[in-house]
Structure formats: structure tokens, C-alpha cells
């Protein structure tokens, strides 16, 4: 699998990571949503590292990336819903 195939997931991971960090900064410090967002940020950081390693470019990794990004998007959606209520 070539580098170009991984370029789009890497860009998506970085974009989602930035969105989660912005949401985290706006959530109350003691909220459960903030803890979930912080967890997802760590997960995306690790995913980014795996995606950008030269030796890792498999279909399994891309599948794992899509699964993780789905979970992170759900966390971001819940965080935004919380922010909209405030």
C-alpha cells in the first residue's frame, strides 16, 4: 500500500485531533465529556504515530484508523452538544 493511500487518513486524523483539542479547551474541567475528549486525543495521537511510521502501512491499520476516528468523532459530537447546552 503506497504513501498516498495513507496521506488522506493522516490528514483526517490531524484535523479531528485539532477539533477535539479546541472542544476540550471549551468544556468544563470536571465534565465527563472533557475526560472522554482527552482520552480520544491520546488515542488519535497514538494513531497518528502509527500511521506515520515508515514500516506501518497495512489494510489492518487503515481499518483500525477508521474505527478510532469514528469513536473520536462521536466524542467530538457529544462534546459539541454539551457546549451547545451551555
Is the Cβ–Cβ distance between 72 and 16 less than 8 Å? Answer: yes
What percentage of the chain exceeds 90 in pLDDT?
56
Residue 34: which domain range?
Answer: 3-85
pLDDT, tens digit, 9 for 90 and up, residues 30-63: 999 999 999 999 999 998 988 887 665 577 777 8
pTM beyond 0.85 = no
Length, in residues, of the chain = 86
What does pLDDT average to over the chain?
86
Closest CA to 18 of 36, 51, 40: 40
Residue 3 has pLDDT above 80, yes or no: no
Tally of domains in the chain: 1
Where residue 9 falls among pLDDT bands split at 50, 70, 90?
confident
Terminal-residue alpha carbon distance, the chain: 45
Amino acid at each position: 500500500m503506497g504513501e498516498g493511500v495513507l496521506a488522506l487518513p493522516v490528514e483526517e486524523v490531524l484535523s479531528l485531533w485539532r477539533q477535539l483539542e479546541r472542544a476540550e479547551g471549551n468544556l468544563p474541567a470536571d465534565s465527563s465529556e472533557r475526560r472522554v475528549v482527552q482520552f480520544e486525543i491520546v488515542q488519535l495521537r497514538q494513531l497518528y504515530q502509527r500511521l506515520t511510521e515508515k514500516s506501518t502501512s497495512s489494510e489492518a491499520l487503515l481499518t483500525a484508523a477508521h474505527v478510532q476516528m469514528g469513536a473520536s468523532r462521536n466524542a467530538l459530537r457529544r462534546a459539541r452538544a454539551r457546549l451547545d447546552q451551555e
